[in-house]
Structure 1
C-alpha cells in the first residue's frame, strides 16, 4: 500500500480561554495539501518502521516516532512494515508527525479495519491526529480534537508552502503568546464557508512565533509580494502558506522564491 501523509495547514487559528488543565481552548480551520510525506506498507511478521528522505535525520528516536506509536495503538493480528519517506520538515507547523500517524490509521483501516474508539486513540497521540486521519477541511475546537464539518469552497486552490528551515517547537510559541501583551482572547472563529473563515480569521500565534524566529517575518513578507490571495503562518510556525487564484501565479511565485531564497524549503500543491 502507498499513502500520502497530507501536509496540514491552519487557515486560521484562534487561541481562546485557558482551561483548568492548563491548555487553551483553540478554534482552528484545518485544511490539507495534496502532498506530504509518503508511506508505503506491507504485511510483515511484526511491526516495523523505516524512515528515509530529506528530513529523516531529524527523527532520531525511532521508538518515540508518532507513526510507530500509532501502529502500537491499533489492535490487529499480524504486523505491518512501513517505509516513511520524510519530505515535510520537522517542528514546522504542518502537523508532519500527526499526518504520518493519520496515514498509519488509514493503512490499518484498509488492511484490518479500525476499532470503534479509533478517534479516542488518535486524540491520545496528539491534538491534530484526529483531523489528519480523514485529512479533509474542517473546524477544530477544544484542543483541536472536536471536529466540525465546513463548506469547503477552497478545494483545488493552488497553495505554496515555504519554511525558512528553522525548527520551532509549539510549547515555546504558546509560552511567548501567554507572556506577551497579545496573550488574550481576541474573539471567536468567524462563521461561514472555508474561504470566509480563512479570509476573516487570523493566526494568534503568528506574532509570538516571529518574536522567537524572525525569519518567519521574512517569509511572510516575501510571499505577500507574490500577489497571493491569502498569506499566513500555519500552526505555531515556522511554515507559512500562500493561496493563489491559479496555478500559473503559484508557479511564478515559487520560481522567483527559489532564485531569491534558495535555502528556503518549499512545496507546491492544491488544497484537498
Structure 2
C-alpha cells in the first residue's frame, strides 16, 4: 500500500505580467505548500481504478476522467493501481487541489518505479501547477508557472490558516477579467534571499478580478485581516485565502474566532512545508 498527501498549494505572491498570444498568461509566482491536503492510497491491481470519498468527493463529476486518472495514464506504473482519494480540499479554490492530487500520484510512482526523464513535460501537460505540486516545496514559478526554481524558505514551519467561503471560483473567467496592467515583477530572490520578503512585498494580481466575480472573497480577506496575521492574501485565482501567523497560539485564536463568527466557511490549519 502506497500513501501520499496531496499538499495544498498556495501562492504567496502571484504577479501577472502579460497575456500571451497563445492565450496563456506570463506569470511570476511564489509557490508554497501546506503540510495537509487530500490523501491518497494506492495498491497494485489488474487495471487502474479510482475511488473517491471525503467532503468534496461529490464535486468530482467524472472520477475516471479527472486529473488523477490522467496522471496514472501519463506514467508507467505496472499493470494497474487501485487508488483511493479522500477529497478534503475544496474544488475550484485556488489551492491546486486537482494538481496536488496529480502531484501525489507522481510521487507515488517515483517511489515505486521511478519517474521518466521527461516527467516535468508530462506533468505540465496535465496543468500549469502540476510540476510545482509534484515537488511540493517552496519554489518560484515563471512562464506559465511551469518553469521552476526551488528556493530555501525562511517561512518553513510558519503557522497558516486557509479559509474558503464554499463558493467555487473558476480560473478561466478570473484570468479573462484581469485588467491587463503589468504592475511589475516580484522582488528577485537572488537579491533578497528571503521568501518572507518576497511574500510581504508581493501581491496577487488576480484578487481584484476574483472579488468582482465572487464578492465573498473580500469578506474572507477582511475576516482574516481581523485576526492580526502578518500576511493575509488570496491564493491563486481564488476563492481560498490564507493568513500567516508568527505563533501557533495566534493561529489557534484565529481559528476559534472564525469558528464562532463564520461556522459555514471551510477552514484548514497547518504549517508551511
Alignment TM class, shorter chain as reference: over 0.9
Unaligned runs of 5+ in 1: none
Deviation at 1:17, TM superposition (A): 1.8
**Which residue of structure 1 aligns with residue 182 of structure 2?**
185
Query: TM-score scaled by structure 2?
Result: 0.97
Select between 63-72 and 159-168 the one with higher mean Cα deviation. Answer: 63-72
**Which residue of structure 2 aligns with residue 92 of structure 1?**
93
**Which residue of structure 2 aligns with residue 194 of structure 1?**
195
Alignment of structure 1 residues 229-248 onto 2, 5 Å: 229-248=230-249
Per-residue CA shift, 1:80-130, capped at 9, x if unaligned? 111000000000000000000000001111111111110100000000000
Deviation at 1:151, TM superposition (A): 2.8
State whether residues 26 and 144 of structure 2, in contact with CA within 8 Å, keep that contact through their aligned partners in structure 1.
Answer: yes
User: 2:34 matched to 1:37?
Assistant: no
Q: RMSD between aligned alpha carbons?
A: 0.8
Count of equivalent residues: 268
**Which residue of structure 2 aligns with residue 126 of structure 1?**
127
Query: TM-score scaled by structure 1?
Result: 0.97
User: 2:76 matched to 1:75?
Assistant: yes
User: 2:13 matched to 1:12?
Assistant: yes
**Which residue of structure 1 aligns with residue 65 of structure 2?**
64
Q: What is the alpha-carbon distance in structure 2 between the residues aligned to residue 177 and residue 161 of structure 1?
A: 24
Select between 183-192 and 253-262 the one with higher mean Cα deviation. Answer: 183-192
Q: Determine helix, strand or coil for the equivalent of 1:165.
A: coil
Q: What is the alpha-carbon distance in structure 2 between the residues aligned to residue 127 and residue 121 of structure 1?
A: 11
Q: What is the alpha-carbon distance in structure 1 between the residues aligned to residue 229 and residue 125 of structure 2?
A: 36
Deviation at 1:24, TM superposition (A): 1.3
State whether residues 50 and 64 of structure 2, in contact with CA within 8 Å, keep that contact through their aligned partners in structure 1.
Answer: no
Deviation at 1:18, TM superposition (A): 2.0
Q: What is the alpha-carbon distance in structure 2 between the residues aligned to residue 229 and residue 83 of structure 1?
A: 37
Unaligned runs of 5+ in 2: none
